[in-house]
Amino acid sequence: MVPNNPVARVARGAGLLFTGVFTGFLIAVLVLELSLRGFDRHVYTQVRHVELDSLDKLAVVTLLPALITTAVLLASAFRQGGRTSWRTLTALALLLAILALTLVINMPINADQLDWSVQAPPADWASVRDRWQIAHGVRTGAAVLAFGALIADATRDPHQATPAAPPDELPAAPEDSPLRRRTGR
């Protein structure tokens, strides 16, 4: 059962908004990062410094509310005694995986890159870049899937019934039917 109380409606709308903005943000950063692959270490480092100036703040103010509103939506369904949607549960799991990946891989690299000198980036700059970009690509894919799951859940018909199981026996034919006259059943 899809929760349709006021809290669930607000949580659904806010979750879609924050998850959508977060996903769009990650896609934009991915495009920028992939564009930087053709440039040298100096350009890469300078652009990363610009990215790290405020983009982390945007990630926080979109990912955390996306997580919270998705959790509220699940809790609302659970409290109403309905079945929790596997789509919303999947979205929450993906958002939590994004948070974990960010905390374990991306944020430590971000902190390290803030100390890089534009004139003299470290010798292993390309391998660090590659590790960050792979992790970012994974979390971008996860965000797209989470957003898609939330959209699919929000747009499904709550009145669509689950098909009933077929009966164990076929119903008997009416007494005056030609079939009954022929078979005696």
pLDDT tens-digit readout, 5-55: 788 889 899 999 999 999 999 999 999 999 999 999 999 999 999 999 999
> DSSP letters of 72-131?
HHHHHHHHTTPPPPHHHHHHHHHHHHHHHHIIIIIHHHHHHHHT--SSS--TTHHHHHHH
pLDDT tens-digit readout, 77-111: 777 766 668 899 999 999 999 999 999 999 999 99
Say which residue the tokens 């100390």 belong to. Answer: 115
pTM: 0.80
